[in-house]
Amino acid sequence: MKRPQADDAPRTGTSTVPPLVSTAWVAERLDAQEFVLVEVDEEAGTYYEGHLPGARNADWLDHLQHPVRRAMLDEAAFENLMDRFGITNDTHVVLYGDAWNFFAASAYWIFRFYGHRRLSLMDGGRQLWLAEDRKMSEVLPEAVAATGYRVREHRSQIRATRDDMLQRFVGAPEGTALIDCRTPEEYAGQVVQEVDLPVARHRMPGRIPGARNLATRELVDPTTGRLRPREELQALYAERGVTDEVEVAVYCRVAERSSLLWFVLDELLRHPRVRNYDGGWAEYGSLIDAPVERDPA
């Protein structure tokens, strides 16, 4: 089946590059240095086993999270990271990673939040690049002079806060759709990760009332790691009540999986109003007196 989304024309007004590019697209342009590659893996040490030639390594924990608070890195840290990676405000950045690009998609969302416009995700990520036996390198890119990167806007319209969730999305009232993209087990309220055990009843298992379940891995072809064809993606969302007329919020546990859901809906399917709740269940499940829904044990 044709996969029309990779290398598609850019979204008018948001970017000047396609949001999704294929491995072949990247391979054909590697030598021209038209873009900066950034690898974002579940475990950042994977990069040192070999990476795309010239790629920079962004550690999702150490580089893309705030060092003290529970939050994404702040504006100054983002500018500093761009400086170190040799990225200017006009640089085309191509993100990729392992784990079905979940963490690369999270980085994509953060780049977008801080207003970076020329941005793409490589379809299939590291897994597909390796499966296609494409060129890898262990050579680390050289240090570069600071680029003077400056964040020009915060695109808060792509982010949902806990107050947004409580005031507008709990119960999925008319005009909204709420998508929980954790596994069906997590959605049902089963504890599948040790860190979520309610040992001190500090975080309760369950879901936000009104949420429909669309596990992120359903978006991906498991044999290639590529996103499914556009019409299949559209159907997955439509089956869960997502239309252009509703405002959508997506969430998972710590916002890496939901970032891919956001990417598909916002950047590929061009939904006009979709927000990623980056607090995720890690935050919502800990809120005092917040409504929680759970399947019977």
Catalytic residue numbers, as ranges: 252
Look at phi and psi of residue 70 and say left if phi exceeds 0, alpha if psi is from -120 to 50, else beta: beta
Alpha helices in the chain (DSSP H): 23-29, 75-85, 102-113, 125-131, 162-164, 184-188, 230-238, 256-262, 280-284
The rounded distance, in Å, linking the Cα atoms of 259 and 261 is 5
For other proteins, which is the closer residue by CB, 9 or 195? 195
Please say whether the dihedral angle defined by the alpha carbons of residues 180, 254, 230 and 12, taken in this order, is positive or negative: positive
Q: Are 5 and 230 in contact (CB under 8 A)?
A: yes
Q: Minimal distance in Å, beta carbon 130 to other proteins?
A: 8
Q: Are 121 and 21 in contact (CB under 8 A)?
A: yes
Binding residues (CB under 8 A) for other proteins: these are 42-45, 47-48, 59, 61-62, 67, 99, 102, 127, 130-131, 140, 183, 191-195, 197, 199, 215-217, 222-225, 253, 257
- 176: amino acid identity, one letter: T
The alpha carbon of 52 is separated from its chain's Cα centroid by a whole number of angstroms, namely: 20
For other proteins, which is the closer residue by CB, 92 or 253? 253
Q: Are 102 and 259 in contact (CB under 8 A)?
A: yes
For other proteins, which is the closer residue by CB, 194 or 245? 194
Q: What angle do CA 206, 209, 214 make, to 5 degrees?
A: 75
Q: Minimal distance in Å, beta carbon 183 to other proteins?
A: 6
For other proteins, which is the closer residue by CB, 228 or 257? 257
Closest CA relative to residue 5, chosen from 195, 193, 252, 270: 270
Q: Minimal distance in Å, beta carbon 279 to other proteins?
A: 17
For other proteins, which is the closer residue by CB, 24 or 197? 197
Q: Minimal distance in Å, beta carbon 39 to other proteins?
A: 12
The rounded distance, in Å, linking the Cα atoms of 280 and 283 is 6
For other proteins, which is the closer residue by CB, 12 or 223? 223
Q: Minimal distance in Å, beta carbon 200 to other proteins?
A: 12
27-43 as b/e: b if 16+ CB within 10 A: beebeeeebbbbbbbee
Q: Are 250 and 275 in contact (CB under 8 A)?
A: yes
Q: Minimal distance in Å, beta carbon 296 to other proteins?
A: 21
